[in-house]
Structure 1
Amino acid sequence: MKTVSEKIKVDRLDGKLGMAHFYVAFIALAIGGLAGLLQTLVRSGKLVLPAGIGYYQILTVHGVVLGLVLTTFFIMGFQLVAVSRTAGTFTSKQRMAGWIGFWTMTIGTFMAAVMILLNEASVLYTFYAPLQAHALFYLGLTFVIVGSWIDGAVIISAYAAWRKRNPGKPSPLLTFMSLVNTLMWIIATIGVAATVLLQLLPWSLGLVDRVDVAISRTLFWYFGHPLVYFWLLPAYMAWYVVIPKIIGGKIFSDSLARLTFILFLLFSIPVGFHHQLMEPGIDPAWKFFQVILTFMVIIPSLMTAFSLFATFETYGRSKGATGLFGWMKKLPWGDARFVVPFIGMLSFIPAGAGGIINASNQMNQVVHNTIWVTGHFHLTVATAVILTFFGISYWLIPHLTGRTFTKAMNKLAIIQGVFWAIGMTFMSGAMHAAGLLGAPRRSSFSEYGGAAQAAEWIPYQVAQGVGGTILFVGIILILYIFINLAFFAPKGEEEFPIGEAADESEKAPMVLENWKLWIGIAVLLILFAYTIPFVDMIQNAPIGSKGYKLW
């Protein structure tokens, strides 16, 4: 008889909760993808938006809907079903809390979206002050964050229940990883919740006349950089745990995977100043300290690359591969569940190199606030992460809906991945090149089309339009595949692949699950990195027109 943690299929009711999150995520992909296509065509000078639609309006739709809505809904849905699969079916109370979290997020998304569509919140996904949005936009974002906290509480509760049932045992790896990402998200979103609730919302309601922009931006980037790892860690979950099972191999090391996630928890949050290297009001010594912490994140990334390619090589050699790269021929290149995430893995190599440049003080001055930065995060979240999410969908959606991933859909999924790789090569490559020539980030074609320097940028803007068009074809393909897997594919059973450790005797050290220790260290790093700079900002805050400090 199988134990709860060995259960093969996600419970039907838990699966419905996960699918609700995925429906919203893929609707967001359709809307945000269309806005992205329009945006690249405007930048290339090939389109003038009709009906008074503003460039920054569609830019905000693209950023908020894809960067915040799509990712948050997909990640929470994936983590909920992963925990249900590995730690056991949710209780009725946990499931009810999950639905409350989902509807809170959905209502918040609707509120923010309406304000953007009414052109009352064209403030981009970073919503920096002094750009001001309607109060309902900020309130909607607050609902999204609170809803995600409720979803996170379900994950924490399920983990705690598993530990209570299994004292002294390491938790299932996917549950452990979901917990780490949830804890990081909750700690990080305290920053954006603070600036929204205590600064931007009162300001939008007219309760205060101004806000301290330095503190607002600092609170945002306290959240903004771990947001990147909130996107990335679910992809790492699939790379570490799911991909080895799909290829027929083993997880290289369970303990190494857990340690990697702990390091991300420690080093991903107290590093926001590396996004503010060009801003006044922050002592350079504190910027330098946070740059050092930023570079510490390279370590778990390299650990992940080593672990993944060790898994691939070990598998290949077990199948008789010889030579330095002979093992690559043994990988399942005809399986979209592997190929599409693998394209994402490869894209993360140049993406990581670009991240090192962005975080380096001197080199950052060359590319800061140019479209190079946009190209960088289109390689990270819009390629490495999103292609892995697509790869997850190819087995997870039919698993939850009781359908099968047919050979026809598998072939189409590989074509979709190739389209995405080609489109992103054009678009992101052109963004990086134009950024090195000084092309500004966020600006529309009409704003710089008459400048003499703009003549150098125009070919790259056209290449962006070509790439964006190819990517939109890729979006149409993935939406077709999703609809097929959710509603029309033949009935059947699709596996939820969970890899096993190569060394079955390996037991993860229980110190890795000492949350008082790891959360305590994370909090100390955050306090050390931010307390004195915050005190300086507050003490030196400008005086508002009504005679009080702005914070």
Structure 2
Amino acid sequence: MLKASLSSKVDPRDAKLSMAHFYVAFTALLVGGLAGLLQVLVRSGKFQLPFGIGYYQVLTVHGVLLGLVLTTFFILGFHLAAVSKTSGTLTNKQRTVGWIGFWIALVGTVMAAVMVLLNQASVLFTFYAPLKAHALFYLGLTLVVVGSWFNSAVIIMKYAEWRRANPGQPSPLLTFMALINTLMWCVATIGVASTVLIQLLPWSLGIVDTVNVGISRTLFWYFGHPLVYFWLLPAYMAWYVVVPKVIGTKVFSDSLARMSFILFLLFSIPVGFHHQLLEPGIDPAWKFLQVILTFLVVIPSLMTAFSLFATFESFGRSKGATGLFGWLKKLPWGDARFTVPFIGMVAFIPGGAGGMVNASHQMNQVVHNTIWVTGHFHLTVATAVVLTYFGVTFWLVPHLTGRTLTKKMNKLALTQGILWAVGMTFMSGAMHAAGLLGAPRRSSFSEYGGAPQAAEWIPYQIAQAVGGSILFIAVLLMVYIFINLAFFAPKGEQEFPVGEATNQAEKAPMVFENWKLWLGITVLLILFAYTIPFIDLIQNAPPGAKGGRFW
């Protein structure tokens, strides 16, 4: 049954559902990319926003559309396509649930976007108190989350159906990975849904007068850090399973890939305090505990790096490569489906190192709330993750639309990836350097608000503007490539590359499919890391927080 599903195309009905998500995602890329360009131009001190547009309005558009809308819609579309490909066509019921989720999320996106564009929700993509937005913004974000839950239900239902039809067999690797990411998302979004529905929405409607800010920020970061891994794990799906097939080799280890994803599920959620190391109201011992838990995520990251580069080296050796790095020459550098995600992999090395600085109990104080953090964010999410999404787009969109990636589009895709890497090197590098000099994270250095600009920061702000301009050209190229692959590329058959394990006889242990065990451990870790600090935040809330209640 599995082999039959791997040899077939994604059903056109399922493809239509996935493509609907991609249309929203790439629209968000275009608008959010324009907002990012305006942002870095303002930061350079050489440009002023026209028509009374506010800097923080632009910043919110950029963060919400790229950090929340682009990623969420792309991931949902990718998950649906991957599960349909590896576990079989969705049933009519599953597809209907998926469409309901899509339309709910789209309506929520439009509601939130309208409020931001009307300058009624310039609260950044973190949107936590004491910044307040219009109630429709919070309601819109809630609908986006609810819509994602419907799509999550589709993944869970399809997985359960496959398990019933294949008792005692490990699930297809891509389906397993999509399920892990889905479960992590569902558990994490409980936090953001709680703070929006219980705190921020009633506060915005005037039902309550004040909000317990400590609780609000804690609930957000309970969600906010696993959000990062929700972005990252689809890239890992491509790195582990798709890239080996693209280069013509096998997955290094099916079991190692499953174990790394299980570890991300366990260690990604109970670590939100490392974003709150300088905030009052949280006992330092609990902060330090979550710092330790944060560093445990390094383990599956290193497992992934080992697996990927072992795959690349094995492939190179099989092609006759010799010497320490001779295998690098054998890799298919002319194939954008490989090269663009590979650039993302390389960017994740300094990005991960910067993340260890951010999560450190001590070094965080050097860079906390400086633009170093923004630079880190752009190396990890906006380079490692987004470039991998682009690499997936180059083959997945033509596969879903019945078209092909031509040599011309492949060359243009390579150009786009290189431009992105160059632009991000300028922009992110300058952000890291300016952050070490103390440049604040979100200031515009202009009449739109912010601290006075120190002279030593100016060259780095100009470098950010140069990098941001190059990145916007890359955004335009990517949108053009997407439109071509969706509507104008020649009709044909584009492969959905799904790698097979090196040793097909070695079956992955069924303990990986024991969800009572893994979800139980996840819940226990969350309760251990958050229960006592949460009680402290409620009982010892400041007088303005209404006696410590949630609002």
Query: TM class by shorter-chain length?
Result: over 0.9
TM-score, normalised to structure 1, is 0.98
- Separation in 2, partners of 1:412, 1:540: 58
Task: Name the counterpart of 1:176.
Answer: 176
Whole-Å separation in 2 of the counterparts to 1:432 and 1:104: 38
Range 361-370 or range 443-452, more displaced:
443-452
- Residue 215 of structure 1 corresponds to 215
- Whether the 8 Å contact between 2:443 and 2:449 is mirrored in structure 1 is no
Q: Is the CA contact (8 Å cut-off) linking 1:209 and 1:544 kept in structure 2?
A: no
Q: Is the 8 A contact 1:541 1:550 kept in 2?
A: no
> Aligned ranges for residues 293-312 of structure 1 at < 5 Å?
293-312=293-312
Q: Is the 8 A contact 1:397 1:486 kept in 2?
A: yes
Q: Give distance in 1, aligned partners of 2:490 and 2:538.
A: 61
Q: How does 1:104-115 map to 2 (within 5 A)?
A: 104-115=104-115
2:396 corresponds to 1:396: yes
Task: Describe how 1:89-238 pairs up with structure 2 within 5 A.
Answer: 89-238=89-238
Q: Which amino acid aligns with 1:441?
A: R
Q: Deviations over 1:251-286 (max 9, x none)?
A: 000000000000000000000000000001000000
Contact kept? 2:367, 2:438, Cα under 8 Å: yes
Q: d(CA) in 2 for partners of 1:548 and 1:167?
A: 50
Q: How many residues matched?
A: 551
Equivalent residues of 2:539, 2:548 under 8 A apart:
no
Could you list the per-position Cα deviations for residues 139-178 of structure 1 after superposition, in whole angstroms to 9, with x for gaps in the alignment?
Answer: 0000000000000000000000000000000000000000
Supply the AA of the counterpart residue of 2:393.
S
Q: Give the whole-Å Cα distance in 2 for the aligned partners of 1:449 and 1:268.
A: 35
Identity %: 79
Residue in 2 that maps onto 1:30: 30
C-alpha distance in structure 2 between counterparts of 1:424 and 1:543, whole Å: 45
Aligned residue in 2 for 1:518: 518
**In structure 1, how many angstroms separate the alpha carbons of the residues matched to 2:550 and 2:131?**
16
Deviation at 1:504, TM superposition (A): 1.6
After TM superposition, list the pairs within 5 Å mapping 1:262-277 onto structure 2. Answer: 262-277=262-277
Q: Does 1:40 align with 2:40?
A: yes
> Is the alpha carbon distance of 1:338 and 1:282 closer, same or farther for their aligned partners in structure 2, counting shifts above 3 Å?
same
Correspondence for 1:528: 528
Structure 1 position 548, deviation (Å): 7.4
TM-aligned CA deviation for residue 7 of structure 1: 3.8
SS of 2:348's equivalent in the other structure is helix
User: Unaligned 5+ residue runs, structure 2?
Assistant: none
Shift in Å at residue 546 of structure 1?
Answer: 6.8
In structure 2, what is the equivalent of residue 331 of structure 1? 331
Residue equivalent to 1:66: 66
Indicate conservation of the 8 Å contact 1:139/1:201, yes or no. Answer: yes
Secondary structure, aligned partner of 1:362? coil
Distance in 2 of aligned mates of 1:269 and 1:210: 27
Q: Per-residue displacement from partner, 1:109-167 (whole Å, max 9, x unpaired)?
A: 00000000000000000002010000000000000000000000000000000000000
CA–CA separation in structure 1 for the residues paired with 2:155 and 2:453: 52
Counterpart of 1:224 in structure 2: which amino acid?
G
In 1, the alpha carbon distance for the partners of 2:547 and 2:27 equals 47
- Paired residues of 2:538 and 2:548 also in contact (CA < 8 A): no
Partner of 1:49: 49
Match of 2:421 in 1: 421
Listed one character per residue, the Cα deviations across residues 60-89 of structure 1 (whole Å, up to 9, x for unaligned) are 000000000000000000000100000000
Q: Provide the C-alpha distance between the structure 2 equivalents of 1:392 and 1:545, rounded to a whole number of angstroms.
A: 47
- Tell me, in whole angstroms, the C-alpha distance in 1 between the residues paired with 2:111 and 2:181: 26
Aligned equivalents of 1:89, 1:451: Cα separation in 2: 55
The alpha-carbon distance between structure 1 residues 123 and 487, as it changes in their structure 2 partners (threshold 3 A), is same
Q: Is the 8 A contact 1:185 1:230 kept in 2?
A: yes
Closer, same or farther in 2 for the Cα pair 1:312/1:452, shift >3 Å?
same
Q: Which runs of 5+ in 1 are unaligned?
A: none
CA distance, structure 1, for counterparts of residue 369 and residue 105 of structure 2: 31
1: distance between equivalents of 2:66 and 2:448?
Answer: 26
Q: Is the 8 A contact 1:251 1:500 kept in 2?
A: yes
Is the alpha carbon distance of 1:50 and 1:543 closer, same or farther for their aligned partners in structure 2, counting shifts above 3 Å? Answer: same
Work out whether 1:434 is the aligned partner of 2:434.
yes
Partner of 2:471: 471
Q: State the shift of 1:452 in Å.
A: 7.2
Tell me which amino acid in the other structure corresponds to 1:86: T
Rounded Cα–Cα distance in structure 2 between residues aligned with 1:120 and 1:140: 13
Q: Hey, what's the Cα distance between the residues in 2 that align with 1:57 and 1:505?
A: 56
Cα RMSD between the aligned structures?
Answer: 1.4
In structure 2, the residue matched to 1:250 is 250
In 2, Cα distance between equivalents of 1:400 and 1:500: 21
Contact 2:270 2:526 in 1 (8 A): yes
C-alpha separation in 1, matches of 2:243 and 2:544: 55
Paired amino acid for 1:537 = L
Q: Distance in 1 between matches of 2:176 and 2:303?
A: 18
Identify if the C-alpha distance between structure 1 residues 449 and 285 changes in structure 2 by more than 3 Å, giving closer, same or farther: closer
State the SS of the aligned residue for 2:391: helix
Distance 1:60 1:2 in 2: 44
What TM-score does the superposition give when structure 2 sets the normalisation length? Answer: 0.98
Task: Work out whether residues 250 and 499 of structure 1, in 8 Å CA contact, stay in contact via their aligned partners in 2.
Answer: yes
